Amino acid sequence: MRGTDETSGSLFSYVDLEARIPARHPLRKIRQVVNDALASLDGEFEELYTDFGRPSIAPERLIRASLIQILFSIRSERQLMEQMQYNLLFRWFVGLGIDDAVWVPTVFTKNRDRLLTTDMSRKVMAAILAHREVAPLLSDDHFSVDGTLVKAWASMKSFQPKATDTPSDDDPGGPSGQDNPTEDHPEPTPSETDPMSRPTRQNRNAEVDFRGEKRSNATHASTTDPDARLYKKSPGTGAMLCFIGHALMENRNGLIVQGDLTQADGHAERRAALDMIHRHSPGSTRQLTLGADKGFDAAEFVADLRQACVTPHVAQKARYSAIDGRTTRHEGYALSIKHRKRIEDRLRHLGRDTGAIVVHP
């Protein structure tokens, strides 16, 4: 017998959100680990907030919502709030009931940025890595590092010459091609019969030809994102306004244990690598290993690693390599070079479109 296609709206629902999520869904384990880590930071959260004023969004919900945005590659907070209106999985993970109102995107963004600028994001990451179910998965001795370009939300048209303090002779500050009116030459007063002039509007997306124009970070800056830099990682590719995202991976299971974002320049990846390895293992006396690609094969960087008791398992350049037989003769060097390539998979989805690491369940 054929069923009827009739829509009957239900006024009440008696099914709990917990019952709607499959028992073996991967987010269940992630949510358990995250909730345990956030519970261990309850005292840290208490110190950040005052005892008076209007209640803000709970910091636990801010962090869980940000984690959902990262896991599912949601490209904006506005789209995140939109999906939380109808996605029961997102509501369950964040901790919102089915009747709870979703936050205004600007309110969510302001509360989240205020929380994460207090170094709380690093504390949350450390609490997750120290969890009893996560810590056994991590290696304490063998790591890999790499970086990728994170495209800035700024167009090449916004890369304009930097403003000078003193106006040039060619542009004294007034309209081009006209002298400033003086008392001796007052502007003519339009008569009532003259047609009304219409203001000329410039197209916001006007065509611009950059051919033959020399532009560099020393003379130009983006008007919409001044921190972005014009940069390219390899010859033969076009430069773009970007940042550099950095990641430190442990080699046992390929899990990211440290991350950073810096301005783009030729030495940023090496500086970030040293900062992340020191931050993850401060004052370590164990002999650590750090795998990296040929871009890290520089004498100064290798010397800094050796001074910090870190064996540089860096891929060798064809010429003038700072890595010699003292390192390459060991079996561990070949293993590090093999495992290092997994970090490229982790960074493949980082930043060029969404600025987030994608983890699909």
- Residue among 56, 35, 247, 190 nearest 124 (CA): 35
Higher-pLDDT residue of 100 and 3 is: 100
Instruction: Band the pLDDT of 172: cuts 50, 70, 90.
Output: very low
- Could you give the percent of the chain with pLDDT greater than 70? 82
Residue 142 β-bridge partners: 289
Q: pTM for the full model? A: 0.75
Asked whether the predicted pLDDT for residue 265 surpasses 50, the reply is yes
- Could you give the percent of the chain with pLDDT greater than 90? 53
Terminal CA-CA length for the chain: 38
Whole-angstrom CA distances from 76 to 68, 79, 91, 93, 106 are 12, 5, 17, 18, 11
Instruction: Band the pLDDT of 92: cuts 50, 70, 90.
Output: very high
Burial pattern 67-90, b for ≥16 Cβ within 10 A else e, equals bbbebbebeebeebbebbeeeebb
Would you say 255 and 303 are in contact if contact means Cβ atoms under 8 Å apart?
no
The DSSP-derived string for 45-56 is HHHHS-SSSS--
Give residue 313's region: left, alpha or beta (phi > 0; psi -120 to 50).
beta
- Average pLDDT, whole number, for the chain? 84
Measured between alpha carbons, how far is 147 from 246 in angstroms, rounded to an integer? 4
Asked whether the predicted pLDDT for residue 290 surpasses 80, the reply is yes
Would you say 95 and 60 are in contact if contact means Cβ atoms under 8 Å apart?
yes
Asked whether the predicted pLDDT for residue 294 surpasses 50, the reply is yes
Residue 311 β-bridge partners: 289
Q: What share of the chain is helix, strand, coil (3-state, %, to 5)?
A: 35, 15, 50
- Amino acid 93: pLDDT: 96
Asked whether the predicted pLDDT for residue 120 surpasses 70, the reply is yes
List the structure tokens of 242.
């970007």
Measured between alpha carbons, how far is 143 from 147 in angstroms, rounded to an integer? 14
The 10s digit of each residue's pLDDT in 326-352 is 889 999 999 999 999 899 888 875 544
What is the pLDDT averaged over residues 93-115?
93
Measured between alpha carbons, how far is 149 from 185 in angstroms, rounded to an integer? 57
- Amino acid 60: pLDDT: 95
What is the pLDDT averaged over residues 284-300?
89
